[in-house]
Structure 1
Amino acid sequence: MITANRKLKVILAQPRGFCAGVERAISIVEEAIRIYGPPVFVRHEIVHNKRVVDELKNKGAIFVDEVSDIPDGGVTIFSAHGISEKVENQARLRSLPVIDATCPLVSKVHKEGQHHATKNRDVILIGHASHPEVEGTMGRIKGGVHLVTNIEDVKNLQVRDENKVAYVTQTTLSVDDTREIIAELKEKFPNIIGPDVRDICYATQNRQAAVRNIAGE
């Protein structure tokens, strides 16, 4: 139990807080409310943070699970996690005014996967099943995607041509989360193509490292 007279030392991790992609998505929703007036409709939570979501609700954002939940003419915002082509087409067919808040790094993963698919490579996605970003990425790459979540998935993976394989990763996974899986992929497919290290989002990694660094203080 903490007594009233006990002094506590508070250590603030650096860096901390939201990444640039999340800050951008929040600003997009707030600006849409300012320009168009409430309500605006956001497919899925704009970010995984209850406080932020509740604040946006109070300002006039309505969060929905599917495009079909949005009334005709409703200003529609896609979350930072990205969407599949199917969802995008649903909004287009209804002529909904759309604002895309997809994180630019997520969009870059989409483009990389699409590029590999046009080269007839098997595309492997390292990520978590049912995560909104993974669903969006898999729905953006034609020809299908192999989803792997652990080393066992890699061991059981079958591709058309072991010399024509590429991988992309869910951006919200840290380097630590993917290191062993990537190593296993490279061992199984020596010629596999992966993203340039400069393309990796280090926000998650940096924040996890910051917590580890202060854990012993």
Structure 2
Amino acid sequence: MSDRTIRVLLVDDDPLVRTGLRLMLAGADGITVAGEASDGDELDDAVTRTHPDVVLLDVRMPRVDGVTALRRLTADPRPAVIVLTTFRTDGVVLDALRAGAAGFLLKHTPPQQIVDAVRTAADGQPIVSPSVLSQLIEHARSGGAPAAPDLREAGLSQREHDVAMAVADGLGNAEIAEQLYLSLGTVKSHISSALTKLGLENRVQLAIRAHDARPRD
């Protein structure tokens, strides 16, 4: 993304929050605010109209919340979405990640970290650390929900299954290649194939799905 401007869409019902984000991003090189929306029910139309690379999406809005709006998003190509929340409510954040968010940020995150997150998301990388993701999933599973079906039941090969589980462990592609004695290109191919077979959008969703498929102790 370094050779072109990153277009960002702001979606928050609080105009002061949108103003603060707009001013913050305006001072960052290579980033422009392409548009704004004040509620989740405006997301799909705003994405179609402004063609953003990244969306900063508030979780809690009065008419349509961020998670519901994300689930309804049909725009193609789909932008990277970072959800914004005042407090880290694990269930809500995990729902957003399951719906395809690239990650989440607390609204009091320092400005430079928000700018860095926008750039990271625009490069197709997740905005959530493996340790935090594991905590979120364990929180959800502690509520008694059953484990998801084995990934191989969805048509994944044994190697694709192994790679997906390594993604869930927080390993990068190079680490997976070394651990499973595969080339880097083969790892990328297995991840792409697993995403397609499981109907997922990104690496974060794959990690969650693989975590969910692990048997409970």
TM-score where L is the length of structure 1: 0.24
Higher gyration radius (CA): 1
TM-score where L is the length of structure 2: 0.24
